[in-house]
Amino acid sequence: MADGAHRRCVISGLGCVSAAGHGVAALWTKVRAGESAVKPLCLPRLEHQQVKTAAHFPGFDAASCLDKPLADSTDRFTQFALLAAAEAIGQAQAQAPLVFGDRMGVIIGSGIGGAVTSDDQHYKFYVAKTRTDPMTIPRVMPNAAASHISMRYGATGPCFAVSSACSSASQAIGLGLQMLRARLIDTCIVGGSEALLAPAFFRAWESLRVMTSTLCRPFSRNRNGMVLGEGAGVLVIEAEDACLARGAQPLALLAGYGTSSDAQDIVRPDAEGAARSMALALSDAGLEPHEVDYVNAHGTGTILNDSCESAALTKVFGPGLPGIAVSSTKPIHGHTLGAAGAIELIVAICALREQLAPPTINWLEADPSCIADPVPNAARPRSIAAALSNSFAFGGINACLAVTAYA
């Protein structure tokens, strides 16, 4: 029997909730067309709201999607995760039943956890002077999404949350991959969820002065910030032998994972750390830099992030970088923070399967400090056999995932 490092792991199901709507198809339709899902946003209890747009899911009614007791006892981020998980599990089971139980794990990342509940209950306590909901703690805890998914499907293997800001989902997926390789489990439900478009949290992001009041323009001259988003991305990943044994056909190979810490600054990114995570993912996947065809960049649209990531990409890919399609899809679905790595990996998988490099919309002109050609404004047909997805977080936590066509 091959050792754990050589146990191949595949992706068999994808699920998503985003500003584009419910489902992977809704997200990919927007991404492929280069159509932004960013919309006007007016939050209650937020006087003098400075930034007036976000990539949010308007009109979401949990009670119409989930059992009422479940909808009533969960935060928005958990509800998103449950819906995304249902889609991913449904796709994974379309060909043959999954095996639930103690050989299936659940790892769901979130940067904040139950932000909407937290904001509402603090307002009740400090301002309205009304009774705090007795389910507040079970709603806000970051592991709520993972626990509810585990309970709903009877996945009795390892179950936990990863909270590492914008790298949460990517690290959750990477840890799932490592547990599969170590033969601790055979299947894992992985991803991330975030729903923090609540008044106090939104004001806190405004105070950081990293959000744009106009349009998010990653890698472009005159870019001035990010746009917040909400949503969830969930994937079913399996050991290849387990997937094939149940008669299912993989969507792609989850080939590699790399993570690193800058150990430099709590908010300022470092190109060396970002480059190290990409190099580690390539090494883990057994890929040479020239074998990568597409990179879904972290690409937030902030001045520092984009120039830092560009320097990291140059360090890793050198003179071969112009031959690789690199783009950021955050202007379409927003920066979903703890969910970003999963949503963007789903985009990268769709790109690989459709052989199409997604666009970086809102791009105006090249900035000398950034990559020169981030697939500006329109998708391009592209032969893609291997792709990377980058996530770089506050706290200096970097994560990179590599996927390849299944063969």
- Taking 70 as the pLDDT cut, the residues of the chain under it are 1-5
Cα gap 272→262, rounded to integer Å: 7
Among 298, 308, 370, 400, the active-site one is 298
Selecting among 9, 16, 159, 166, the annotated active-site residue is 166
CA atoms within 13 A on the CB side of 353: 17
Closest Cα partner for 95 from 186, 190, 12?
12
d(CA 212, CA 217): 9
Catalytic, 335? Answer yes
Burial 321-340 (b: 16+ CB within 10 A, else e): beebbbbbbbbbbbbbbbbb
pLDDT digits (tens, 9 = 90+) for 87-120: 999 999 999 999 999 999 999 999 999 999 999 9
* pLDDT, tens only, 290-311: 999 999 999 999 999 999 999 9
User: What does residue 182 show for φ and ψ, rounded to 5 degrees?
Assistant: -80, 0
Which pLDDT value is given to residue 198?
98
| Cα gap 22→59, rounded to integer Å | 12
Task: Answer yes or no: 290 catalytic.
Answer: no
pTM confidence score: 0.98
pLDDT score for 6: 80
Would you call 56 a catalytic residue per the annotation?
no
Nearest alpha carbon to residue 78 among 36, 116, 31: 116
CA-nearest of 266, 142, 147 to 194 is 142
333 within 8 A of 231, measured Cβ to Cβ: yes
Output the pLDDT for position 13: 98
Which one of the listed residues 56, 335, 370, 400 is annotated catalytic? Answer: 335
Distance CA 176, CA 237 (A): 8
